[in-house]
Amino acid sequence: MFGRVAVSLAALALVSASPTRFAPKAPPVTALLDACQDKDGWADPAPPARIDGQVYYVGTCGITVLLVASAQGHVLLDAGPEEAAPLVLANIRRLGLNPHDVKWLFASHAHFDHVGGLAALQKATGARIAALPDQARELEKGEPFPDDPQFGLIHGFTPIKVDRVLTDGVPFLLGPNRFTAFATPGHTRGSTSWVIRGCGKKVCPAIAYTDSTSAVSAESYRFSDHPAWVAMFRKGVARIATLPCSINVTPHPSQSALFERLAGDAPVADHEQCERYSQQALTKLDERLAKERAAK
C-alpha cells in the first residue's frame, strides 16, 4: 500500500516538475559557414549556430561568443568588441530567446576584442558578471595592467563591476548547466578557461572554452626579460591540456579551426584537441623566446 502511494506521488511530482518544452531554434550551421566564408572581422555579422546540446555560437565571424541556454536562464561567455554587442543581442533573439533571460556573463580574457561589449550586454540583459579573482581585477580596471605583454599595444574598454568572484575549479550551476572556471594565465594574468556541461542531462560532453594562448606583445616587450611571466605562462597553458575536453572552442574561432570542424573537415568532438592546442602554444612560446635570443 505504502509502496503504491509512494509510486503515484513520485509520478505526480515527475509530471508537475517536467518543464515546458525548451527548444531554441538555431539556423542550420551552413548559414554560419556561408556568412563567414571569406570573413573573419570582429564585427562581421554571423548567424547563430548550435554547437552541441544547449551551447550556441552567437558571436561574429572573428570572435566567439557562446550562449548556454536553459529554461532557468542563460549564460553568455564573452561579449566580443563593443560594436558587436547589437549583433550578439540579435543572435540571441534569432534563437527565439529573450536577452533578459541571460542571467550571467563570463569572459575568457579582459582584452577589448572579447569584453569590449560586456558593459552594453550587461545593460541590455540585466545579467550579472562573475570572474576569477585576477580577471575580476582586470575587468574592473578596464584596461590591461602594465605587466600585460600587450600593455600599450591595445586600448581599453568600459570597466565592469564584477558581481561575484568565483573559485577556481568549483562548478557554477544555472538550471541543468554547469560552468567551471580554471585559471590558465599566460595571454593575460586573468586568462580563464571554462568547462561547460550544457546538454541538460546528468552526463554531458565537456565543452572546453579554452582561452587564447598566444604570446603576443607590444613592440618593446621581451618575454625573456620577464621570467616570472614566462613561468606563469608555461604553467597556465600546460593546464589546458589537463582539462576535460570533448569539444574545444576558443575565443577566436580560427584558433581551434571551429568553422572548418563544423563544416566537416575535421571532427567537432576530439578528446585530444585541448592537448594539441596547449602543446602548439608552448612550442610557439619557445619559438618566440628563441627569436628574442637571436635578436640580442
> What are the residues binding Zn ion (CB under 5 A)?
111
Of 153 and 263, nearer to Zn ion (C-beta) is: 153
Q: What nine digits make up the cell of 40?
A: 573573419
CB of 135 to Zn ion, least distance (A): 12
CB of 184 to Zn ion, least distance (A): 13
Of 111 and 197, nearer to Zn ion (C-beta) is: 111
**Contact criterion met (CB below 8 Å) for 77 and 196:** yes
Of 57 and 157, nearer to Zn ion (C-beta) is: 157
Of 189 and 197, nearer to Zn ion (C-beta) is: 189
Tell which residue, 80, 70, 84, 88, has the closest CA to residue 19: 70
Q: Which residues contact residue 120 at a Cβ distance below 8 angstroms, ignoring those fewer than 6 apart?
A: 79, 82, 85, 86, 158
CB of 110 to Zn ion, least distance (A): 8
**Contact criterion met (CB below 8 Å) for 70 and 78:** no
CB of 108 to Zn ion, least distance (A): 8
Tell which residue, 179, 182, 170, 175, has the closest CA to residue 201: 175
**Contact criterion met (CB below 8 Å) for 88 and 194:** no
Tell which residue, 177, 184, 168, has the closest CA to residue 207: 177
Q: Which residues contact residue 103 at a Cβ distance below 8 angstroms, ignoring those fewer than 6 apart?
A: 73, 74, 75, 127, 128, 174
CB of 93 to Zn ion, least distance (A): 28
CB of 187 to Zn ion, least distance (A): 6
Of 109 and 197, nearer to Zn ion (C-beta) is: 109
In this chain, which residue has its C-beta nearest to Zn ion?
A: 111
Of 87 and 113, nearer to Zn ion (C-beta) is: 113
